[in-house]
A and B are shown apart, each in its own frame.
Chain A
């Protein structure tokens, strides 16, 4: 892509294509015990996993939707959504793109995933309900690193992963985490043995091809003592921009995405977790992501770029338990026309000398709504802890929204707390200055946004910096012109 094109904001959603593929298994719409048992049976799961799923189902059925959320979930019709769609020929055992069903592989080509395989330490790809590809560098295998589909983690590496499943996010955490427990499919599990530092990222990419479906992967990452890992996840779906939602055209319910991500850092471990979320505008993105620094001096760092989906509820969080453990949570959310980004971060200090830093940047334009919801919590044992959050909002116009709900709960007087929030608006004078140098209005807007998020973008692995620039370009759409 040329230098100038990379900043052009006038292109439609780039990932909207639909594959006309055959599905081997499609469960009838709705979620009940029969559905849950069917999914478990397809996956040949041990009994303990089925029981965990059923506990999730019970929680899901018991729990109400959150009342504090800034959008209504009334239109999410669980009875009309299919909770399992497995593409024909898909298998999580595949380690060679040539063995992936052709239509699926072509899509992965177009998403530039196949070309990344050699530069990543490991790669998993999921299509609708199924993992379709996974690969890990041989030398990492030899060092004892495990990177596999979640299904394989349960059946092949039970002794490593089972003790940690649900340790960070229990089945009763919230309604959508409970739903994930009941109906999860796909995702990946990672174990890094003591002292192993994985230099290149491990990556998983999620693709939704069908309207009317649920995608609920699970991710579990365990970094053992002094191990290090960077994990990257990306996603897209076969939707359209909001003006012509595919699911609306077909009269199908909009896709529902509810992931559960659990991170476990033992003594001295470092986990960097990067998300670039580019769902189409018809996706409901209601995810639960949380890490626990169990070990002394361990670190969990989240970097999130969220530009897609019509409705997002996402608050990545870390609980710092081990003495001297720390976390940083960097988020960038972009809310365009018709989008609500209800997102934020949670930091809970539950050990001495722990610290957490949140940097949230929200961009709202064309009537988009950006809501930051943050929790800074320090428990009684968090002696000399440090908490800080910084929320900056950038507004394009008067019809867009930026709201901040910070919540601070500190139970130990030796904890240092800092919270700052700013809101700024793109000024006509800034646009004129840039346009007077030859940039068109959209390029000027994109440049201002790029600058606004630059501090966060610089924290990404180099390979993903360009991806974020592209994401910014894609997001603004043609509605951004006044």
Chain B
């Protein structure tokens, strides 16, 4: 059996003394796309941030593996350099820092080679065209004054340029109107096509984006545990019936 791309083993996580994840087991292989669904407060975003190494959270039990290595204690920047990418639900504003300057450093780290400003601008322009982003965007300050749609497109832009092996999309579809959702979805599907080896974890409340992205697996996370797993049909069920049947219940096999 080959090594999974990413794996959590009995992962327990707490923040400020509160237990959020209570034994999450998840295996993502190369080229697989896993949708993670669940009610608010189930721990979906926590799992996304813990996978990326957010120091706000403490892993109290269990391990995270990436490409066969235990990365449970690794700082976020090392995870990024190994090829993990998190698209944030709420990307942070960094006043005064231009997108292009930020991407120069980020891309130079990822590729482990010093890229010139010219090279970075060229790379940005090409991807921005695909994502229907105006050229002036790269001289704007990081997420400052961005609309909801611009923030999400910016995250997808970064994803496309940092050639990750694993992407975690945390509610990339929330807060987008139909047109913005289409642009973002197209960006993700184009990325999927270009990077067939890359695996993904996509957190969402809605089936709509999943119809574009077509996850190979769907999981339901409730109260810090995965209580149901299945294929795409599970997402359709949830879309129709909601999470009610999963609440306060034991693990169910649909």
A interface residue numbers (CB < 8 A to B): 2-4, 7, 427-430, 432-441, 443-444, 447-448, 450-455
Contact assessment for A439 and B106 in the assembled complex, using a CB-CB cutoff below 8 Å: yes
B residues 45-103 touching A (CB-CB < 8 Å)? 49, 52-56, 75-77, 79-81, 85-86, 88, 91-97, 102
Contact assessment for B97 and A3 in the assembled complex, using a CB-CB cutoff below 8 Å: no
Contact assessment for A432 and B54 in the assembled complex, using a CB-CB cutoff below 8 Å: yes
The CA of A427 and the CA of B54, in the complex, are separated in Å by 13
The interface centre, meaning the residue of B77, B109, B114, B158 with most chain A CB atoms within 10 A of its CB, is B77
A and B contact pairs by CB, cutoff 8 A, 17 listed? A4-B105, A4-B108, A4-B109, A428-B56, A433-B91, A435-B75, A436-B86, A437-B102, A437-B105, A438-B77, A438-B80, A439-B109, A447-B105, A448-B94, A448-B97, A451-B95, A451-B96
Partner of A451, one of B52, B94, B105, B162: B94
Partner of B81, one of A3, A428, A433, A438: A438
The CA of A61 and the CA of B97, in the complex, are separated in Å by 49
Supposing A438-B80, A448-B97 touch, asked if A2 and B53 sit within 8 A by C-beta, the answer is no
Contact assessment for A2 and B96 in the assembled complex, using a CB-CB cutoff below 8 Å: no
Contact assessment for B102 and A3 in the assembled complex, using a CB-CB cutoff below 8 Å: no
Closest partner residue, chain A, to B97 (CB atom): A451
The CA of A231 and the CA of B158, in the complex, are separated in Å by 41
Q: How far is the CB of A217 from chain B (nearest CB, A)?
A: 33
Residues of B within 8 A of A439 (CB): 77, 105-106, 109
Contact assessment for A454 and B53 in the assembled complex, using a CB-CB cutoff below 8 Å: no
Q: How far is the CB of B239 from chain A (nearest CB, A)?
A: 30
Partner of A440, one of B53, B77, B85, B86: B77
The CA of A453 and the CA of B110, in the complex, are separated in Å by 26
Contact assessment for B162 and A437 in the assembled complex, using a CB-CB cutoff below 8 Å: yes
Contact assessment for B106 and A451 in the assembled complex, using a CB-CB cutoff below 8 Å: no
Q: How far is the CB of B138 from chain A (nearest CB, A)?
A: 15
The CA of A454 and the CA of B140, in the complex, are separated in Å by 13
The CA of A434 and the CA of B86, in the complex, are separated in Å by 11
Chain A CB within 8 A of B141 CB: yes
Closest partner residue, chain B, to A448 (CB atom): B94
The interface centre, meaning the residue of A427, A435, A444, A447 with most chain B CB atoms within 10 A of its CB, is A435
Q: How far is the CB of A232 from chain B (nearest CB, A)?
A: 23
Contact assessment for A443 and B52 in the assembled complex, using a CB-CB cutoff below 8 Å: no
B interface residue numbers (CB < 8 A to A): 49, 52-56, 75-77, 79-81, 85-86, 88, 91-97, 102, 104-106, 108-110, 114-115, 141-142, 158, 162
Q: How far is the CB of B27 from chain A (nearest CB, A)?
A: 22
Residues of A within 8 A of B109 (CB): 4, 437-439
Interface of B is mostly: mixed
Partner of B97, one of A4, A438, A440, A450: A450
Contact assessment for A436 and B97 in the assembled complex, using a CB-CB cutoff below 8 Å: no
The CA of A454 and the CA of B144, in the complex, are separated in Å by 14
- Apart from A434-B102, A436-B77, 4 more pairs, CB < 8 Å: A437-B77, A437-B106, A444-B77, A448-B97
The CA of A3 and the CA of B113, in the complex, are separated in Å by 9
Partner of B110, one of A427, A438, A443: A438
The CA of A452 and the CA of B88, in the complex, are separated in Å by 22
Supposing A440-B75, A447-B105 touch, asked if A434 and B110 sit within 8 A by C-beta, the answer is no
Residues of B within 8 A of A428 (CB): 55-56
Supposing A3-B115, A438-B81, A447-B102 touch, asked if A432 and B55 sit within 8 A by C-beta, the answer is yes
Contact assessment for A437 and B158 in the assembled complex, using a CB-CB cutoff below 8 Å: yes
Contact assessment for A435 and B77 in the assembled complex, using a CB-CB cutoff below 8 Å: yes
The interface centre, meaning the residue of B75, B76, B104, B142 with most chain A CB atoms within 10 A of its CB, is B76
Contact assessment for A452 and B96 in the assembled complex, using a CB-CB cutoff below 8 Å: yes
Contact assessment for B92 and A433 in the assembled complex, using a CB-CB cutoff below 8 Å: yes
Residues of B within 8 A of A441 (CB): 75, 77
The CA of A438 and the CA of B53, in the complex, are separated in Å by 12
Closest partner residue, chain A, to B143 (CB atom): A433
The CA of A441 and the CA of B53, in the complex, are separated in Å by 13
Closest partner residue, chain B, to A446 (CB atom): B105
Closest partner residue, chain A, to B104 (CB atom): A3
Q: How far is the CB of B118 from chain A (nearest CB, A)?
A: 12
Residues of B within 8 A of A451 (CB): 94-97, 141-142
Contact assessment for B114 and A437 in the assembled complex, using a CB-CB cutoff below 8 Å: no
Contact assessment for A433 and B88 in the assembled complex, using a CB-CB cutoff below 8 Å: yes
Closest partner residue, chain B, to A1 (CB atom): B114
Q: How far is the CB of B157 from chain A (nearest CB, A)?
A: 12
The CA of A407 and the CA of B67, in the complex, are separated in Å by 60
Contact assessment for B95 and A452 in the assembled complex, using a CB-CB cutoff below 8 Å: yes
Residues of A within 8 A of B93 (CB): 430
The CA of A453 and the CA of B85, in the complex, are separated in Å by 29
Residues of A within 8 A of B106 (CB): 437-439
Residues of B within 8 A of A455 (CB): 96
Supposing A3-B104, A4-B114, A454-B97 touch, asked if A435 and B92 sit within 8 A by C-beta, the answer is no
Residues of B within 8 A of A434 (CB): 92, 94, 102
Closest partner residue, chain B, to A429 (CB atom): B92
The CA of A443 and the CA of B49, in the complex, are separated in Å by 20
Contact assessment for B96 and A454 in the assembled complex, using a CB-CB cutoff below 8 Å: yes
Contact assessment for B96 and A453 in the assembled complex, using a CB-CB cutoff below 8 Å: yes
The interface centre, meaning the residue of B94, B114, B141, B158 with most chain A CB atoms within 10 A of its CB, is B94
Residues of A within 8 A of B91 (CB): 433
Residues of B within 8 A of A7 (CB): 105
Closest partner residue, chain B, to A7 (CB atom): B105
The CA of A440 and the CA of B56, in the complex, are separated in Å by 16
Closest partner residue, chain A, to B106 (CB atom): A437
